[in-house]
């Protein structure tokens, strides 16, 4: 996708680029990405549930969330929005983010009910909204959002995965992590949000902040230290950053679909 540069937050401009690649081992690309034309919001989804199911789930997630974010009415357009679940969320963007993600979850569930061949389909989802109030991140699954500030990379979302839960319980060596039998099993996904839990994170913005949204096709292959190095070396060039990140994952074998979005505050 071509880079966008627009005024996305008070006193700042936003430069962004996104790239997705099928990788070297998969026949289908089950990832979906979206960058709004005005650089206000960004979406990344990684589908699961067989070839057709994964593609359908990530596409539905992208379409439903972008429809809410593009609507002047925001969550008010959602006839099934659970107002009670939103009343304790203080700011409008966070409420809209949660409502949009729950709407996407309903759409994925409905698609699975309508077509039994797609039963079990699901998707991760990362959303990023930039406005005068800062950066608002919505998160479900094991895709990730990172922030680069002052040259230091921070993983600002928490993986919803069996491996992440195991790492909370005990220290694991790199070899143990590599051989962990449930490394790619996630504990939350659209289409399976029975507890309706959605992570929402809010951050203030500083000039030169950079956000990276990515699927596990990147992070399963490229270490955080290498990601940080690439982002630092390509600072000011979101397109170059995306191309370098994807190529590095491909050079590492490209076993999965690879999707990245780089959003820089300039």
131 in Cβ contact with 204 (< 8 Å): no
260 in Cβ contact with 8 (< 8 Å): no
d(CA 112, CA 114): 5
Smallest Cα–Cα separation from 127: which of 165, 107, 157? 157
Smallest Cα–Cα separation from 187: which of 155, 139, 142? 142
Select the highest-mean-pLDDT range: 79-93, 135-149, 178-192: 135-149
255 in Cβ contact with 262 (< 8 Å): no
CATH of the domain at 51: 3.60.40.10
- Which of the 8 DSSP states describes residue 118? G
Q: Which two tokens stand for residue 94?
A: 């966070």
pTM equals 0.89
Average pLDDT, the chain: 88
Q: What is the per-residue pLDDT for 235?
A: 97
* E strand or H helix at 17: strand 12-21
pLDDT at 3 over 60: no
In angstroms and rounded to an integer, the radius of gyration of the C-alpha atoms of the chain is 18
Q: What is the per-residue pLDDT for 59?
A: 97
Write out the DSSP string of 26-87: -SS--EEEEE-TTSSEEEEEEEESHHHHHHHHHHHHHHHHHHHHHSTTGGGG-TT--HHHHT
Chain centroid to Cα 245, Å, comes to 16
Q: What is the per-residue pLDDT for 194?
A: 79
pLDDT-above-70 percentage for the chain: 82
**Predicted confidence (pLDDT) per residue in 147-189, tens digit:** 999 999 999 999 997 776 676 677 766 666 666 667 678 899 9
d(CA 56, CA 134): 31
Which ranges in the chain belong to alpha helices (H)?
50-70, 83-86, 92-114, 162-169, 174-179, 216-219, 224-233, 238-251
Domain count across the chain: 1
Hey, how many other C-beta atoms are within 10 angstroms of the C-beta on 196? Answer: 11
Smallest Cα–Cα separation from 31: which of 144, 161, 178, 113? 144
Residue 105's domain spans which residues? 4-265
127-139: average pLDDT:
96
């Amino acid at each position: 996708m071509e880079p966008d540069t627009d005024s996305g937050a008070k006193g700042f401009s936003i430069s962004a680029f996104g790239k997705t690649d099928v990788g070297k081992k998969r026949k289908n690309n089950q990832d979906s990405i979206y960058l709004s034309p005005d650089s206000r919001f960004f979406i990344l989804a990684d589908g699961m549930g067989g070839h057709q199911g994964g593609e359908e789930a990530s596409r539905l997630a992208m379409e439903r969330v972008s429809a809410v974010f593009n609507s002047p009415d925001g969550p008010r357009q959602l006839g099934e929005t659970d107002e009670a679940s939103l009343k304790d969320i203080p700011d409008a963007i966070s409420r809209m983010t949660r409502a949009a993600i729950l709407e996407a979850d309903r759409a994925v569930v409905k698609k699975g009910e309508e077509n039994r061949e797609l039963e079990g389909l699901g998707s991760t989802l990362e959303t990023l909204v930039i406005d005068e109030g800062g950066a608002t991140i919505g998160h479900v699954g094991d895709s990730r959002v990172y922030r680069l500030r002052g040259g230091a990379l921070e993983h600002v979302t928490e993986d919803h995965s069996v491996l992440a839960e195991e790492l909370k319980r005990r220290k694991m060596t790199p070899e143990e992590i590599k051989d962990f039998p449930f490394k790619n099993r996630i504990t939350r996904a659209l289409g399976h949000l029975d507890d309706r839990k959605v992570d929402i994170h809010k951050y203030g913005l500083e000039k030169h902040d950079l956000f990276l949204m990515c699927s596990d096709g990147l992070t399963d292959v490229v270490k955080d230290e290498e990601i940080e190095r690439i982002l630092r070396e390509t600072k000011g060039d979101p397109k170059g950053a995306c191309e370098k990140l994807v190529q590095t994952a491909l050079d590492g074998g490209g076993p999965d679909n690879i999707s990245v979005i780089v959003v820089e505050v300039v």
